[in-house]
Amino acid sequence: MTQYNFDQEIDRTNTNSLKWDNPLYRGKDILPMPVADMDFQVADDLIDTINTINEHGVLGYSLVPNSLKIAYQAKIKDSYDWDTSIDWQVWIPGIVPGLTLACATFVSSQQSILTAIPVYHPFHLIPEWVNRPLLTFNMVEIDGRWVYDFKEFEEQLKKKPGVFLFCNPHNPGGTVFTKKEINKIISLCNRYDCMILSDEIHADLQIQKNLKHICIGNLLPNDFPSISFFATSKTYNTAGMGGAVAIIPNVQIREKFIKHTQGIFPMLSRHSIEIMETSLTMKNAWLDHLLEYLRINHELLLAFINQIEHLKMLPLEATYLAWIQYDAEIVGDFQQKLYKNGLHVLRGDQFLGNNFIRINIACTRKSLETAMGIIKKTIDAAH
């Protein structure tokens, strides 16, 4: 079986990479760690799939084959123990467009959209995009995890938002929600008649080995107004290919959603369809090796950050996106200072979290070590 080498340095410049070809970097030596994709080559089977399509060379319109539908159904059952029907599947170009369209479709112009903060930026931007008010509540640190402030959550639900946007595992912060927490979310949304849109794109990126992803859909009655979104793209590093699936058990919700996709969502490309199917059916150790590599990167960064006086990081339960808090009185504008020293990370404000940075650790160990060196140099210079 192939032993994947995630230490291999791959030059991603001049590939139209959002992460590496940022025009801001022109003429500068910047290590980029903002955008959530990985610096690793995909599994061999995915390269074979792409090569087969390219050799055939015909790229007309495609349909989603039954084999892909069955493969996703099996994935959801095998990995998350949720029995779903293939009739519940709606294939979409990506999760963010799916969430946006669902908000535009199911939230009336008088209603608001609720989400926890800090959060992946489209969650707090979608309300602006679809012209609905945003309601937020805070995540708080309890026992070394980022969890919901359920009191605030309920206070906001009393204002009757149309939907609650759930991110599980949570980006940023990496929380894998427990069954107890998910049941509490369900009971509160049920009490205040709030639809649930659940984004589970990071479900397979478990940093803590003992934790199991729980689908909210598995704990909801089938007629509950909800949509659960899944994709293989984050796990297998194929984000540029697009493709995702919305699981919608409630038939009225499903039909209304499908109606609103028409003329708006493009058909999936042949590449996207076949990449998804290969991701779901290939039998190789790429993901196991990836997770081992990410876990070591995570351990190194966690230990490094928490021995620096003015920085703090909670262990990630899932995702490869580290969420690091800093003391702004001592460190100042940390993100800018890091950038000046050659490291680009995202400013916490982008996720509505003050005095944080978010770092993508799905990079080679060498890049991670370079990043840690720049962090150390920046902190040492700050006091």
Ligand X SMILES: Cc1ncc(COP(=O)(O)O)c(C=O)c1O
Nearest approach, Cβ of residue 174 and ligand X (Å) = 11
Q: Does 96 bind ligand X (CB under 6 A)?
A: yes
Instruction: Kindly give, in sequence order, each residue whose CB lies less than 8 Å from that of residue 288, ignoring residues fewer than 6 positions away.
Output: none
Q: Which is nearer to ligand X, 346 or 374 (CB)?
A: 346
> Which one of 88-96, 137-145, 256-264, 284-292 is the stretch in contact with ligand X (CB under 6 A)?
88-96
CB atoms within 10 A of CB 63: 11
What is the C-alpha R_g of the chain? 21
Question: What tokens were used for 214?
Answer: 């729980």
> Which one of 67-75, 91-99, 149-157, 325-333 is the stretch in contact with ligand X (CB under 6 A)?
91-99
Nearest residue to ligand X, using CB? 94
> Identity (one letter) of the amino acid at 151?
K
Nearest approach, Cβ of residue 29 and ligand X (Å) = 26
> Which one of 4-12, 52-60, 182-190, 231-239 is the stretch in contact with ligand X (CB under 6 A)?
231-239
Q: Does 245 bind ligand X (CB under 6 A)?
A: no
Q: Which is nearer to ligand X, 140 or 239 (CB)?
A: 239
Nearest approach, Cβ of residue 314 and ligand X (Å) = 18
Q: Does 36 bind ligand X (CB under 6 A)?
A: yes
> Which one of 93-101, 145-153, 308-316, 323-331 is the stretch in contact with ligand X (CB under 6 A)?
93-101
Q: Which is nearer to ligand X, 265 or 304 (CB)?
A: 265
Question: What tokens were used for 299?
Answer: 């351990």
Question: What tokens were used for 218?
Answer: 């598995």
Q: Work out which of 134, 231, 248, 305 binds ligand X, going by CB under 6 A.
A: 231
What span, in angstroms and rounded, lies between the C-alpha atoms of 301 and 321?
Answer: 11
Nearest approach, Cβ of residue 118 and ligand X (Å) = 12
What span, in angstroms and rounded, lies between the C-alpha atoms of 153 and 150?
Answer: 5
Grouping H, G, I as helix, E, B as strand and the rest as coil, residue 232 is coil
> Identity (one letter) of the amino acid at 309?
E
Nearest approach, Cβ of residue 311 and ligand X (Å) = 23
Q: Work out which of 139, 244, 245, 343 binds ligand X, going by CB under 6 A.
A: 244
Nearest approach, Cβ of residue 146 and ligand X (Å) = 14
Q: Work out which of 40, 88, 120, 293 binds ligand X, going by CB under 6 A.
A: 120
What span, in angstroms and rounded, lies between the C-alpha atoms of 135 and 164?
Answer: 9
What span, in angstroms and rounded, lies between the C-alpha atoms of 89 and 57?
Answer: 29
Closest of 230, 260, 263 to residue 69, by C-alpha: 230
* SS3 of the chain: helix, strand, coil, percent, to 5: 40, 15, 40
Question: What tokens were used for 6?
Answer: 């995630």
Grouping H, G, I as helix, E, B as strand and the rest as coil, residue 176 is coil
Q: Which is nearer to ligand X, 264 or 303 (CB)?
A: 264
133 to 152, contacts with ligand X by CB under 6 A?
A: none
Build a one-symbol-per-residue string for 151-180: x at contacts with ligand X by CB under 6 A, - elsewhere. ----------------x---x---------
Q: Does 32 bind ligand X (CB under 6 A)?
A: no
Q: Does 34 bind ligand X (CB under 6 A)?
A: no
Q: Work out which of 68, 95, 248, 311 binds ligand X, going by CB under 6 A.
A: 95
DSSP 239: G
Q: Which is nearer to ligand X, 232 or 325 (CB)?
A: 232
For helices 95-106 and 251-261, angle between their N-to-C axes, nearest 10 degrees: 110
Question: What tokens were used for 47?
Answer: 């390269």
Per the CB < 8 A criterion, the answer to whether 107 and 113 are in contact is: yes
Q: Does 94 bind ligand X (CB under 6 A)?
A: yes
Exposed / middle / buried, residue 356 (Cβ in 10 Å: 0-12, 13-18, 19+):
buried
Per the CB < 8 A criterion, the answer to whether 165 and 99 are in contact is: yes
Q: Work out which of 130, 211, 219, 239 binds ligand X, going by CB under 6 A.
A: 239
Q: Does 103 bind ligand X (CB under 6 A)?
A: no
Q: Which is nearer to ligand X, 277 or 378 (CB)?
A: 277
Residues near ligand X (CB under 6 A) are 36, 94-96, 120, 167, 171, 199, 201, 231, 233, 239, 244
